[in-house]
Amino acid sequence: MSDSLDSLRRKLSGAEQLGSVVRAMKAISASSIAEFEKAVEALGQYQHAVELGLRLCLDDRHPAVTRPITGVDRPTGALIFGTDQGLVGRFNEVIADLAGETLGKLAGPKTVWTVGERVCPSLEAAGLTVKKRFGVPSSVAAITAIVTELQIEIEGWTAAQQVGEIRVFHNSPRAAARYEPTNQRLLPLDAAWFQRIREIPWPNTQCAQVLGDRATSLSALVHEQLFISLYRACAESLASENASRLDAMQRAEENIDSVSDDLRRSLNRLRQSSIDEELFDVIAGFNALA
């Protein structure tokens, strides 16, 4: 009887310790979500300033940034954001399914880069070969370094392919700690992008002009626009990852509470049974002596 009591006490103690770890992970995930969402919001004004510069550089004399895509067998480069850590539910499987379905409809060779190790098995199961894997940044401060590496890799591939296109796949956060998979085509810049930039309203009535060489300014601004797009995708993926982990930890906490309650009830029943047996022994002994 005492062995069973000790066993239940050990299980209950383990459940309580695991519950403490889960609650700590919930707090970290909730804090991280807010941190990465603020990073995305902070990009807004900077992106608007870059787009105003692009609007100023792009006029009727510079339509060459739009590059028509011809041929059905053009190469495609795909950047897919996953995770390096677990406890995120189906986070990696969801984005891998979208990437596999989308890329499967495109003809031509595929070059795949991933941010995160855990998304790779699902991609390989879908028939995609991962060319290079990048680590997932652990904080907002680390995003810039990884995005710079990604930008160098992508721009080098684009320069070599000439007619290729770049697609980015990542999970985007939604309300109530949810997310959904999304993808966007970053390059080449098309007529729709050109038209959107030209239609951005100028913030005031003052006349502005480009200082220095217009082509050089345009190249630098397009480079910065690509950086912003990659930074946003990375930050949104990290916010979604923590939202998924928060949801998983919430379910784990509920399960741990349920198991702890069952263990407490079992422990109380066993203790009561032990006390009853001891009382019966005392009464039986008293009756025997009487």
290/283 Cα distance (integer angstroms): 10
Instruction: Name the CA dihedral angle for 84, 87, 89, 90, rounded to a multiple of 10 degrees.
Output: 20
pLDDT of residue 276: 66
Residue type at 43 in one-letter notation:
L
Judge residue 181's burial from the number of C-beta atoms within 10 Å of its C-beta, 0-12 exposed, 13-18 middle, 19 or more buried: buried
Scanning the structure block, which residue is given the tokens 């049974």? 273
Write the pLDDT tens digit of every residue in 70-101. Answer: 445 789 999 999 998 888 888 999 999 999 99
Its pTM surpasses 0.75: yes
Four-residue CA torsion sign, 134, 140, 141, 147:
positive
Q: Calculate what percentage of the chain has a pLDDT beyond 70.
A: 92
Average pLDDT over residues 57-75: 57
Write the pLDDT tens digit of every residue in 45-54. Answer: 888 888 888 8
Contact (Cβ atoms closer than 8 angstroms) between residue 152 and residue 145: no
Average pLDDT over residues 3-22: 76
CA distances from 113 to 9, 99, 157, 167, 269 (A): 49, 11, 11, 10, 57
35/83 Cα distance (integer angstroms): 17
Comparing 149-158, 203-212, 230-239, 244-253, which segment has the lowest mean pLDDT?
A: 203-212
Which numeric CATH code is attached to 2-26+247-289? 1.10.287
Check if 2-26+247-289 and 31-245 are the same fold. Answer: no
Select the more confidently predicted residue: 14 or 77.
Answer: 77
Which numeric CATH code is attached to 31-245? 3.40.1380.10
Contact (Cβ atoms closer than 8 angstroms) between residue 101 and residue 256: no
Write the pLDDT tens digit of every residue in 115-129. Answer: 999 999 999 998 899
User: How large is the angle between the packed helices 214-289 and 91-104, nearest 10 degrees?
Assistant: 140
Four-residue CA torsion sign, 84, 90, 91, 97:
positive
Domain definitions of the chain by residue range:
2-26+247-289, 31-245
45/107 Cα distance (integer angstroms): 38
